[in-house]
Amino acid sequence: MSVPIVELKNAAKEYVNGALRVTALRDVNLRIDPGEYAVIMGASGSGKSTLLNLLGCLDHLSAGDYLLGGESVANQTDDQLSEIRSTRIGFIFQSYNLIPQLNVLENIEVPLFYQGVPESEARVKAEALAERMGLSDRLRHKPMELSGGQQQRVAIARSLVCDPILMLADEPTGNLDSKTGEEILELIDELHGEGKTIVMVTHDDDIAHRAQRVIRFRDGTMISNDWHGAPKP
Ligand SMILES: Nc1ncnc2c1ncn2[C@@H]1O[C@H](COP(=O)(O)OP(=O)(O)OP(=O)(O)O)[C@@H](O)[C@H]1O
């Protein structure tokens, strides 16, 4: 059996602000295998972003364990988490999160520079991904000179440039019109078809139907985990 990409064991997250404590996630057990496409759904405040932040090593668990690709990351330092994030995880956000001063190629290259990849090598990779995303005629444009769909394509290229084992998407079509959103979702379907492991937060049932698996949260608890198509063995 293959090593799961994600394994959360009795995971919990509590936010503490002074005397105020909020339990955002409690006792979450979740396994995501290589090549799966899972969506996370739930009402506002149910813990979706908290979960994505934990899966993306942007935050620490309060209790339990998180194994990413078979290795526990629960007790890593912030620096170690940052290293894991930049080498193993690709992020796609609703608001693209591109660096406004950098052009398309430079934005795509950012994760490679954190890894010390030589400039010429980074350029070759970034150009290939930009071409794949249909951005060849926009390589030197800055984000503000691009449409929303083009910006999201740059963000997807950036998320792929380190060949991550896990791709996390937070409402990736939330700021796009339906046609452009559909193109981005088709791109994500394509990546899934190529074997990428994808976890996406969405509020949209139509989008959720594209995934194999829909995981629902309520009040910080996982309340359902439904498989479309063939049931998981
Ligand atoms: N930094 C924080 N400090 C304190 N409480 C927080 C913090 N971040 C989130 N929470 C709380 O944790 C709970 C879960 O929040 P979370 O943002 O994960 O929900 P969500 O499902 O992503 O919501 P939305 O769909 O509105 O983005 C909420 O009750 C929220 O108020």
Using one digit for the tens of pLDDT, what is the confidence trace for 59-88?
A: 999 999 999 999 999 999 999 999 899 899
141 backbone dihedrals φ, ψ, rounded to 5°: -85, 145
Q: Which domains does the chain have, with CATH numbers?
A: 36-60+74-227 (3.40.50.300)
> Which pLDDT belongs to residue 233?
47
Rounded Cα distance, 60 and 188, in Å:
28
Closest residue by Cα to atom 18, ligand 1, is 47
Using one digit for the tens of pLDDT, what is the confidence trace for 99-138?
A: 999 999 999 999 998 888 999 999 999 999 999 999 999 9
Amino acid identity for residue 170 in this structure:
D
Q: Is the CB–ligand 1 distance for residue 22 below 6 Å?
A: yes
Q: Which residues fall within 8 angstroms of residue 216, CB to CB, at 6 or more apart?
A: 40, 41, 42, 222, 223, 224, 225, 226
Q: Is the CB–ligand 1 distance for residue 202 below 6 Å?
A: no
Rounded Cα distance, 140 and 89, in Å:
26
In the three-class reduction of DSSP (H, G, I as helix; E, B as strand; rest coil), residue 182 is classed as helix
Q: Provide ipTM, 2 decimals.
A: 0.96
DSSP 59: S
- The half-sphere exposure of 106 on its side-chain side, counting CA atoms within 13 A, is 10
**Number of residues in the chain:** 233
Q: Is the CB–ligand 1 distance for residue 44 below 6 Å?
A: yes
